Amino acid sequence: MDKSACVVYLAKTSNLNEDDLFKEYGDSFSKERLERINKKPCGKVKKELIFAGALLSKALKLQGIDSPCFYYKENKKPYLKGQDVFFNLSHSGVYVGVAIGNKEIGFDIQKPVLNVSKSLINRILTKEEAVLYKELKVSFNEIWAIKESYSKLTGEGISLNFKEISYKKENIDLKIDILKNGIKEATGCVIDLPLNYKASLCVKDNLESVNVVFLDL
C-alpha cells in the first residue's frame, strides 16, 4: 500500500447473520472486541460489533495480515504494532466499513437523517453550514460524517466541539481540507454511497488516493 493512500472496505449488513459470522471470524477478533461482545449477549450493539469485527478480519487478510496482534493507545484507538498499519471502523444503518492505511486515520459512515432537530443542527453545524443545509446545498449526514471522522482521527470523540470544525471541499474528486477554528488540521475525502449514505475519512497530512472496495461477508 502506498504511504499516501488508503483503502476503504465496505459491506452491507442487512442480510448477514451475526452468529454465522462469529463462527467464521471470531477467532481473529481482538480480546477487547470479544469482551465487549460477551457483555452484550444479544441486540443491536452485539450485531454491530460482530459485523465490524468480521469485516476487519477479512480486510486485513486482503492486506496480507492473517494473524493480527492488536494494541491500544491511551485514547483506546486500536492499531497493529510493528505492522505500520492503522485502521478505523464505522457502522451506520445497512453499512459497515473499515478504512486501512499507513498512518493515523479517522473514518465514519452516516445514513440519511430525516427531520433533523434544531438542537442537533445547533450542536453540529456552523452558521455557514446551517445555511447551506437549509438551502439543500449539502446533506446533514455529509457534514456529520466529516466531523465524526475528524473526531475519530484525533480520538476526541463526542468531547470534540463540532462547531469549531469546518471543511473545504474540492468538487472534482470530493477531497476535503478539515479546519479547526479556521486552521487546517487534516485532509481527507467524502465518499458517496448508495441509498444516500455518506462516508468520510481523514488523515493528518496529505492523502493522495482512496480505493473503495465492496466486500461480501
- The domain that contains 209 carries what CATH number? 3.90.470.20
Cell of 10: 465496505
Helices 44-62 and 31-39: crossing angle, nearest 10°?
Answer: 160
Tell me the C-alpha to C-alpha distance, in Å, between residue 104 and each of 133, 149, 152: 30, 11, 10
pTM of the model: 0.92
Polymer length in residues for the chain: 217
How far is the C-alpha of 155 from the C-alpha of 134, rounded, in Å? 30
Render pLDDT for 23-74 as a digit per residue (tens, 0 to 9).
999 999 998 999 999 998 788 999 999 999 999 999 999 999 988 888 887 7
Residue 4 above 60 pLDDT?
A: no
Render pLDDT for 142-195 as a digit per residue (tens, 0 to 9).
999 999 999 999 988 878 999 999 999 876 567 899 999 999 999 999 999 999
How far is the C-alpha of 125 from the C-alpha of 17, rounded, in Å? 36
How far is the C-alpha of 72 from the C-alpha of 75, rounded, in Å? 8
Domain around 151: 5-214
Name 194's Cβ contacts closer than 8 Å, sequence gap at least 6: none
**Closest-CA residue to 149 (of 33, 6, 2):** 6
- Total domains present in the chain: 1
